[in-house]
Structures are given as structure tokens and as C-alpha cells.
Amino acid sequence: MKITDAKIFVGGPGKNYVTLKIMTDQGIYGLGDATLNNRETLPAIYLQDYLIPNLIGMDPRNSEDIWQFFYRGAYFRRGPIAMAAFGAIDMALWDIKGKLANMPLYQLFGGKSREGALTYAHATGADLPDLIDSVTRYIAQGYKAVRVQCGIPGMPTASYAVPDQKGLTDDLITDFSGIRPKTEVWNTDLYTRFMPQALAEIRDRFGPELKILHDVHHRLTPREAAQFAKEVEPIGLYWLEDPTPAEDQNVLRLIRKHSTTPIAVGEVFNSIWDCNRLIEEELFDFIRVAVTYAGGITHVKRIVDLAGLHNIRTGFHGAPSHSPISMAAQAHLNAWAPNFGIQEYLVLGTQECDEMFPSEHRHEDGLFFVSDAPGLGVDFNEEMAKRYDYAPGSHPVVRLEDGTLWNY
Ligand code: KDG
Ligand code: MG
């Protein structure tokens, strides 16, 4: 069996999805997602200029060797661009494998460990009353787990995942439009004074059953993060995410020394080499990698297995930048993984998105039910994809009030 061709499409309804389609001499094709949020054209060019010319003629069934060929074969390897490109190829090869076997992917991993996989929604508000409304609505939709982000009184601008006006709480999607980033202004003291109280109020209001998550989005220093994690300990968070930037990995040791609040990290990790020591030392509780940015199913499955040996559960990244293709890849891993924890769930559930990526996957009562169709179980409407142009975007930059650049 041989790969005969591969095509890349960049664009989609409201997002620059990077979709890879690999064709074979047996008429079976596979789909992959290389959407690196706000840098979408880079994995697309890497695929087009360097990887696809090498893929043609390879046997698509040898997904492991093909992964090793691109990863080990690249002298300059790792990093989000390369790993997103390798990841898309890997997803597409697994899709082909599943179609050849006439089985959904989770069967090839070892079958189902559960039916519905727990997901969490993003509740937000410009202030606490709006956040409470937002949480109330998600609970009414059946969610058992909700990430809560809240506007901070006195903060000069809205911060990560928080609207700048009251009333905007339903499925808020951050506006990344424009090549020049917007600026957010951040004040740690205001945040660390207000946020623990807000989280405590959410716990009091909604009771012990609700799984409450919160994303600090890399904003605190190590000491501040340790103090924050200790302070929120009585609230019983499901997780506290990315308390500090990912570069200084010693930080997690300090946080662990001071609190038992569960920590989630990894949405910016691209390989097992970014987290193997942290996992082996059991310095966090949930691994947040995405199949898109971390080398596809082959590599992420390796991370999940290592995490499983060390009491770390999965909590894959699921921001709206991931297309239904990589979300399906994660759904198959979620159905199988013995150490599954939770899935972030935010794919734009619009009619246009569903038309462009038709599938029988189902989200109901806060749970994700994976389809039994062979392979990934998602298709791709190429003709429709051609309607969308690439629209450049950027993540905001963050500055402190004196102008110092901070972490988004
Ligand atoms: O591209 C970056 C976003 O996906 C990220 O800011 C979202 O932190 C995020 C999350 O937890 O979904
Ligand atoms: Mg996050």
C-alpha cells in the first residue's frame, strides 16, 4: 500500500483550521489537523515543502516508522511547528489504519474504558454575578465540570478568557483577529486578592458536586503561585491550571511543597521530553497536551502511558482552535485511556463547522460519546473548505501597569 498524494487546506468557519488529507493507492484517505493557533501557515508550509514530498510513496500502515522518520530524521526537531506538522500526518495515518481495519480507533488502542467521557465548559463573566449566571447555564446544559474565569475589579483591562463587557458570557471565544496583538494590562495583587474569594463563592453557591477548574494562564511567579494554590486548597478545585510559565520546571516542586491543590499543565508542551521528569517526580496531576501540538496520537499515547504509571490523569487541551479532527483523535484516546481525567470541550459547535467536518460523535449532558465509525470517524468537506480564506491573528500580549511585558 502506498501514499499517492497529500493536500493541505487552511481556513474554516471563524478559525484557520489546517487540515491535511493523505490519499492512498487503495482509495482510502486519512485526515489530520495541524492547526497551530495564530501561527497556522507555519505547519502548513512545513508540511507542503518538506514533509509531503517525502510521504509520497511511503506505506501508510507504517505509522510508527513514518513518525520516527520525520522526528529523528529532522536534525532540528521538536517545537510546536514541527510537532503540529508531524501530528497531522500521524492522525491521518491512524485514520487510514482504522479504516483499513474497519474499526474505530479506540478499538485499536485497547477498546473502551468508559462510555461518555467527562468534559468541561468555559464559564466566564466580566464580574462575579455574570460568572455565576454563566456557570448556572452550563449546569443546566448538563455539565458536571466548569472552568471559571472572572473579571477582576479594578483590573485596567479584561484578562485571559474574560469579556470586557457585562452580559457576554455564552461560549465566549477570544478575539485573536489582526496580526498586531491587542494588549492586556495585568495587576497580580488585584488578581490574588480577588480570585480566591470568587472561587470560594462559586463553591458555596453550587455545592460540593460541581467540578471547578481555574486557569491562571501562566501569570504568577513561583512564590505567588505556591501561595495561591495553598489559599484555594479548602475550595477543593478539580484543578488549578498553568499557575506559572512553563519554562522553569522547578516551580512545580515549590507549589507541591505548599499545597495539595491539583495542578494541570502541558498545553504548551510539544513532546514527552517537556514533561518526562515532571511526570516521574509526580509534580502535577493532569497532563494537558494536545494531539495537535504534541506530535499526534503516536506520541501523545506515549505520554499518556508514562503519566498513567505516575498517577497523572489526562485533561487534553480542547480550545476552539482545534478542529473536529484532532478533537476526534483525543476522543478516541479519552474513550480508551485507563488514566483519563477530563476533556476541555469548546469546538465551535456551529452548523457550518459540523457541515465542514461531518461526524457521528456526540456531546450530551457534559459527556462526549465517541462514534463507532472506522478510523477517526470524522469526514471533511473539501469544497466547503475552499470558501474560507486565511485570516491572520495573534494572541494578545500582556503588560504590567508600568509597561513591563508579562506572560499571556
Ligand atoms: O492558543 C492558546 C489558547 O488555546 C489558550 O490560551 C487556551 O489556555 C487555554 C485553554 O486552557 O484552553
Ligand atoms: Mg489553559
Record the cell numbers describing residue 64, joined without a space: 510508527
The cell numbers describing 403, all together, are: 509597561
Q: What is the DSSP letter of 305?
A: H
CB neighbour class for 206 (10 Å; exposed up to 12, middle 13-18, buried from 19): middle
304 three-state secondary structure: helix
Atom of ligand 1 nearest to the CA of 122: 12
Q: What is the pLDDT of residue 350?
A: 82
Q: What is the DSSP letter of 262?
A: -
Those residues with Cβ within 8 angstroms of residue 260's Cβ, 6 or more apart along the chain or in another chain: 233
Give the three-state DSSP class for 18: strand
The DSSP code sequence of 356-401 is HS-B--EEETTEEE---SSBT-B---HHHHTTPPP--B-PPEEEET
Asked if residue 27 lies in contact with residue 6, where contact means CB atoms within 8 angstroms, the answer is no
- In which region does residue 382 sit, left (phi positive, over 0), alpha (psi from -120 to 50) or beta (all else)? alpha
Which phi and psi (to 5°) does residue 36 adopt? -90, 105
- Residue with the smallest CA separation from ligand 1 atom 10 is 319
Residue nearest to atom 9 of ligand 1 (CA): 319
Q: What distance in angstroms lies between residue 346's CA and the mean position of ligand 2's atoms?
A: 12
- How crowded is residue 170: how many other Cβ atoms within 10 Å of its Cβ? 12
**Catalytic residue (one of 217, 322, 332, 363):** 217
Residue 171: predicted pLDDT = 78
CB 388 within 8 A of CB 357: no
User: pLDDT for 269-314, tens place per residue?
Assistant: 999 999 999 999 999 999 999 999 999 999 999 999 999 999 999 9
- Closest ligand 1 atom to residue 217 Cα is 8
Separation of alpha carbons 398 and 408, rounded Å: 5
Q: How far is the CA of 318 from the centre of ligand 1 (A)?
A: 8
Report, as ranges of residue numbers, the positions in the chain whose pLDDT lies below 50: none
In whole angstroms, what is the distance from residue 80 CA to residue 398 CA? Answer: 21
What is the pLDDT at residue 360? 97
Please name which ligand lies nearest the alpha carbon of 243: 2
What pLDDT, on the 0 to 100 scale, is given for residue 348?
Answer: 65
Q: Which amino acid is at 354?
A: D
Cell of 255: 507549589
Give the residue, out of 42, 317, 346, with the most ligand 1 atoms within 8 A of its beta carbon, to mutate for a pocket test: 317
**pLDDT reported for residue 170:** 74
What is residue 169's predicted lDDT score, i.e. its pLDDT?
79
Active site residue 217: yes
pLDDT at position 346: 85
Q: Is 219 left (phi over 0), alpha (psi -120 to 50) or beta?
A: alpha
Tell me, what's the pLDDT at 378? 98
Residue 331 CA to residue 357 CA, distance in Å, equals: 15
Quote the ligand 2 centre to 232 CA distance (angstroms): 18
136 CB contacts (<8 Å, ≥6 apart)? none
- How far is residue 269's CA from residue 241's CA, in Å, rounded to a whole number? 13
Per the residue annotation, which of 160, 293, 345, 388 is the catalytic one? 160
Which pLDDT score is estimated for 91?
Answer: 98
Nearest-atom index, ligand 1, CA of 160: 6
**Residue 144 and residue 118 in contact, taking contact as beta carbons nearer than 8 Å:** yes
Sign of CA dihedral 247, 249, 250, 254: positive
Is the CB of 319 inside a 6 Å radius of any atom of ligand 1? yes
d(CA 322, CA 333): 15
- Identify whether 160 is a catalytic site residue: yes
Query: Which is the closest atom of ligand 1 to the Cα of 318?
Result: 12
Task: Find out whether the beta carbon of 344 lies less than 6 Å from any atom of ligand 1.
Answer: yes
